[in-house]
């Protein structure tokens, strides 16, 4: 399995394949985990989720941004998404990857773009999550969040449990709204746990810490063992349901998403959309090679 994981992560980082994939629309089964290629399709998907009692966080997919013009285009698209969510009365917040709006180009340029996004969302009382990416972007992302929170309070970020420094960071940033995840990228043994058991144990420890000491906690996982543990933990510690939510990705474990919402837990679905779906989809295959079934079904059921 680790070999397959590395294989799909390498594919996710291949810019040539990414460029090729964009030309052909949603393919290879990506349509079951990506909510369309444009805002209108994403809005329809979110309306349906809202009808089922599920809130959303929307990600306008975009990777390999190395030109300022591409970053500005991405920022403008995100501003349009914020406007569309507001106009349509959708229960959703925004997820943005700092690299998409210029982190790999110029820090100050990225800061300006994020300020505009967070400022626009603030007008509508909408939260913005800075998604976390690879280790080299971890610290700059925390710093951007800190700097922007001097002006706006509607931001938070992600803590990835595979990093050795996750505990230190969750303590430092406990007063922010945080999404807790296991971690999706390939990281070196110098900075991150490699063993699934170590990651899972750290994940549980971080969740418990933030539920007890932090602001609002988003527990983002498809792992039923972790979810069941959290249910018992909040019961034992009298933690009210409005202090946390569960999050899952669009198209994954749909029945469980619905069940948790019906049980009265806050539930939020991460809704990715856009033509730049390739890297996102490859990382999902890396996490769970069984998802390859999605691909084979699509290829053979033409």
**Catalytically annotated residues:** 131, 179
User: Least distance (Å) from ligand FDA to the CB of residue 228?
Assistant: 11
Binding mask 158-197 for ligand FDA (x = CB under 6 A): x-x--------------------xxxxx------------
Q: Note whether 221 binds ligand FDA by CB under 6 A.
A: yes
Q: Please give the Cα distance from 253 to 247 (Å, whole number).
A: 11
Annotated ligand binding at 137? The verdict is no
* Alpha carbons within 13 A on the beta-carbon side of 42: 29
Q: Give the whole-angstrom CA distance, residue 193 versus residue 48.
A: 38
Cβ of 10: how many Cβ atoms within 10 Å? 12
Rg over alpha carbons for the chain, rounded to the nearest Å, is: 18
**Does the annotation list 184 as a binding residue?**
yes
- Which one, of 174, 245, 156, lies nearest residue 213 by Cα? 174
Look up tokens 């969040």; give the residue: 145
Instruction: Fill in the per-residue mask, 5 to 24: x = in contact with ligand FDA (CB under 6 A), - = not in contact.
Output: --------------------
- Could you say which of 47, 73, 122, 288 contacts ligand FDA (CB under 6 A)? 288
Residue 148 or 249: the one with the smaller Cβ distance to ligand FDA is: 249
Q: Does 222 bind ligand FDA (CB under 6 A)?
A: yes
Q: How far is the CB of 148 from ligand FDA (least distance, A)?
A: 17
State in angstroms the smallest separation of the CB of 256 from ligand FDA.
8
Tokens of 248: 């899952």
C-beta neighbour count of 287 within 10 angstroms:
17
First to last CA, the chain: 28
CB of 158 or CB of 166, closer to ligand FDA: 158
- Note the residues at the interface with ligand FDA (CB under 6 A): 131-132, 158, 160, 181-185, 220-223, 247-249, 252-253, 270, 287-288
């Amino acid at each position: 399995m680790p070999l397959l994981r590395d294989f799909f992560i390498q594919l996710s980082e291949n810019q040539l394949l990414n460029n090729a994939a964009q030309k052909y629309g949603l393919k290879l089964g990506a349509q079951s985990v990506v909510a369309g290629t444009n805002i209108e399709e994403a809005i329809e998907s979110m309306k349906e989720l809202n009808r089922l009692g599920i809130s959303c966080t929307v990600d306008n997919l975009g990777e390999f941004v190395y030109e300022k013009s591409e970053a500005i285009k991405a920022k403008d698209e995100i501003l349009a998404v914020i406007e569309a969510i507001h106009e349509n009365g959708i229960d959703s917040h925004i997820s943005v990857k700092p690299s998409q709006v210029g982190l790999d180009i110029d820090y100050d340029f990225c800061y300006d773009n994020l300020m505009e996004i967070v400022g626009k969302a603030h007008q509508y009382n909408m939260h913005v999550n800075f998604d976390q990416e690879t280790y080299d972007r971890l610290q700059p992302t925390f710093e951007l969040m800190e700097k922007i929170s001097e002006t706006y309070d509607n931001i938070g970020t992600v803590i990835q449990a595979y990093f050795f420094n996750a505990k230190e960071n969750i303590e430092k940033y406990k007063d922010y709204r945080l999404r807790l995840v296991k971690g999706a990228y390939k990281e070196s043994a110098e900075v991150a746990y490699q063993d699934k058991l170590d990651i899972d144990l750290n994940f549980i420890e971080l969740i418990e810490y933030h539920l007890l000491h932090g602001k609002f906690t988003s527990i983002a996982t498809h792992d039923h063992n972790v979810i069941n543990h959290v249910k018992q933990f909040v019961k034992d510690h009298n933690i009210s349901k409005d202090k946390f939510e569960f999050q899952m990705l669009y198209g994954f474990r749909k029945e469980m998403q619905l069940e948790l919402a019906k049980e009265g837990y806050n539930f939020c679905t991460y809704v990715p959309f856009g033509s730049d779906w390739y890297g996102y989809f490859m990382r999902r295959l890396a996490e769970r090679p069984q998802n390859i079934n999605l691909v084979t079904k699509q290829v053979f059921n033409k």
